[in-house]
């Protein structure tokens, strides 16, 4: 079965840095987490 979400999750390695940015607000916020979901 084709599952793009599982393929994307499989690409996350210990070298991966995930950055989420809220661009819909007047003040922009960003959060960085490592592959374990721990905030940096």
The number of folded domains in the chain is 1
3-13 in b/e form (b: 16+ CB < 10 A) is eeeeeeeeeee
Q: Please list the pLDDT of the chain residue by residue as tens digits (40 residues).
A: 577 888 887 888 888 777 777 777 788 888 888 777 788 7
Q: Is residue 40 part of a domain?
A: no
- What is the structure's pLDDT at 1? 57
CB-based burial label for 33 (10 Å; 0-12, 13-18, 19+): middle
Whether residue 38 lies inside any domain: the answer is: no
Tokens of 28: 């922009």
- The pTM assigned to this predicted structure is 0.43
Q: What is the pLDDT of residue 38?
A: 82
Structural domain span for residue 14: 4-33
pLDDT at 7: 84
């Amino acid at each position: 079965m084709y599952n793009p979400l599982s393929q994307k999750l499989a690409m996350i390695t210990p070298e991966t840095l995930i950055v989420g940015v809220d661009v819909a607000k007047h003040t922009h916020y960003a959060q960085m987490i490592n592959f374990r979901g721990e905030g940096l």
